[in-house]
Structure 1
Amino acid sequence: MTQKKSIKIGIMGGTFDPIHNGHLVTAEEALVQFKLDKVIFVPAGQPPHKEVRKSLDSVERYLMTVIATASNPDFEVSKIEIDKEGPSYTIDTVREFREIYGDEAEIYFITGADAILEIITWRDAKKLAKMCKFIAATRPGYCLKKFKELHVIPNENKEPEPGKLKVYIMEIPALAISSTDIRHRVLHGYSIKYLMPEGVANYVLKRKFYR
């Protein structure tokens, strides 16, 4: 009898304010490198530890993410965080996906390196270590000192010690693009062409976001 193959899922977390090509390249690279069955984009609802700057409405960020990912059959978008009242914690999000896909599913949480450092130092890191692995997307040349100080194991095949997080470091040149820079460019009337999907850029300009 053939053993059923467990599903491998990437959860792409982020504010996506706005989503840009760096996010999409990151998700595609994770999909290929880790042989994932799909990547689910999860726009943040109310982040627990920020924000100094008020984010765009969560529904608008969700719609932009849908527009950006619509042409890729391996990408999905979930409203799991934006439909939730109160702060969105990574452990709660991962737990919900674990309930949906079962204990046999391999779950990889994909986000920026700085965001992962925040996640693993703030809330239930030991529980998270049992529930998923992490893919930390970085720009080339990103300093990994903080990861080493936390005894996280980047890019090694051996399994971490019990209670230690498994973090894979994935360099993405396109992460030189940032949502902050895009908002700045819109505000000052500079071009955002080729920094994000054309449909998203048109939506941002039509709705007069970030002005």
Structure 2
Amino acid sequence: MKEIKKLGIMGGTFNPIHIGHLAMAEEIRKRFNLNKVLFVPTGNPPHKKIDSLASTEDRYMMTILATISNKDFLVSDIEIKRKGTSYTIDTIKQLREEYTESEIYFITGADAILEIETWKNTQELLNICNFIATTRPRYDVEELLSRIKKLEEKYERKISLLSIVPLDISSTDIRNRLKGGKTIKYMVPDSVIDYINKRNIYK
């Protein structure tokens, strides 16, 4: 049993993890008074196919390197260890067994939450954890609130919507910059840059 009162779960391919991921996680941690944020690099995600996907081991190691300086950040390898397709419901149920006393908050993008009915076991998933949906300024917030309200009414569960001004950084852009021989300094932690260079990833 691990005693963490409020635990945030932040999944992602982290291909690679960058400063934007870290800044978002820290802002959410502070806004919702989370004790810890657990980063969960995806194994074989059912809804996302990515070119130039680094190995699970490399993405896991980069996530550890990026978060190690923050005592409130943790990293889990449960998805990359899992065989076959990784579903969120399986991850949350497994984490529930590990963090038995924790209130779990699953962090995802607003675009993903609007597709939650395509996820495996939607009702059960909404029942066993809280959801925090993050949005960016370009989204129509009123439209998002309207659609989220319909989900809340249908499943009788609260979904928190948090508007965040993100750093203009994306993993796709980072990979493209590396392929083009451009710098990614200040976009990615130095320890991750060193790892990418040593392992010759994304070249």
TM-score by length of 1: 0.85
Alignment partner of 1:196 is 2:188? yes
**Counterpart check, 1:180 vs 2:172:** yes
* Aligned equivalent of 2:72: 74
Q: 2:48: which partner in 1?
A: 50
Cα offset, 1:205, TM superposition: 2.4
| In 1: Cα distance, 2:8 partner to 2:117 partner | 18
Write the letter of the residue equivalent to 2:26. E
Q: What are structure 2's unaligned runs of at least 5 residues?
A: none
Partner in structure 1 of residue 31 of structure 2:
33
Match of residue 134, structure 2, among 127, 133, 137: 137
Q: CA RMSD in A?
A: 2.1
- Asked whether the equivalents of residues 128 and 165 of structure 1 are also in contact (C-alpha less than 8 Å), the reply is no
The Cα shift of 1:54 comes to 4.8
Aligned length: 200
Superposition deviation, residue 168 in structure 1 = 1.9
| Distance in 2, Cα, partners of 1:181 & 1:39 | 25
- Shift in Å at residue 138 of structure 1? 2.6
Q: Is the 8 A contact 2:14 2:41 kept in 1?
A: yes
Separation (CA, whole Å) in 1 of partners of 2:145 and 2:52? 29
1:116 is displaced (CA, Å) by 3.0
In the alignment, the residues of structure 1 paired with residue 83 and residue 145 of structure 2 have an alpha-carbon distance, to the nearest angstrom, of 32
Residue identity opposite 1:28 in structure 2: E
CA distance in 2 between partners of 1:89 and 1:8 (Å): 22
How far does the alpha carbon of each residue in 1:113-141 deviate from its partner, in whole angstroms, 9 at most, with x for none? 33333344332211111111112223222
Question: What percent of counterpart residues are identical?
Answer: 51
Q: Which stretch of the first structure deviates more once superposed, 46-55 or 88-97?
A: 46-55
Matched, 1:89 2:81: no
C-alpha distance in 2 between matches for 1:37 and 1:131: 18
Work out the CA distance in 1 between the residues paired with 2:40 and 2:179.
26
* Secondary structure in structure 2 of the residue aligned to 1:186: helix
For residues 191 and 23 of structure 2, the distance between their equivalents in structure 1, rounded to whole angstroms, comes to 16
Q: CA deviation at 1:20?
A: 0.4
Q: 1:62 to 1:119 in 2, by over 3 A?
A: farther
Return closer, same or farther for 1:54/1:86 CA change in 2, 3 Å cut-off: farther
Q: Of 149, 152, 156, which residue of structure 2 is paired with 1:151?
A: 149
Whole-angstrom distance in 2 between the partners of 1:42 and 1:73: 16
Give me the whole-angstrom Cα distance separating, in 1, the residues matched to 2:181 and 2:4. Answer: 48
Q: What is the Cα deviation at residue 6 of structure 1?
A: 7.2
Q: What's the CA shift for 1:173?
A: 2.4
Q: What is the CA distance between 1:151 and its match in structure 2? A: 3.3
- State the alpha-carbon separation in 1 of the partners of residues 52 and 115 from structure 2: 19
* Bigger mean CA offset, 139-148 vs 32-41: 139-148
Structure 1 position 98, deviation (Å): 1.1
CA distance in 2 between counterparts of 1:124 and 1:43 reads 21
**Other structure's SS at 1:81 match:** helix
Task: State the Cα distance separating 1:162 from its structure 2 match.
Answer: 6.7
Give structure 1 stretches of 5+ with no counterpart: 154-159
Contact 1:10 1:36 (8 Å CA) reproduced = yes
SS at 1:205's partner residue? helix
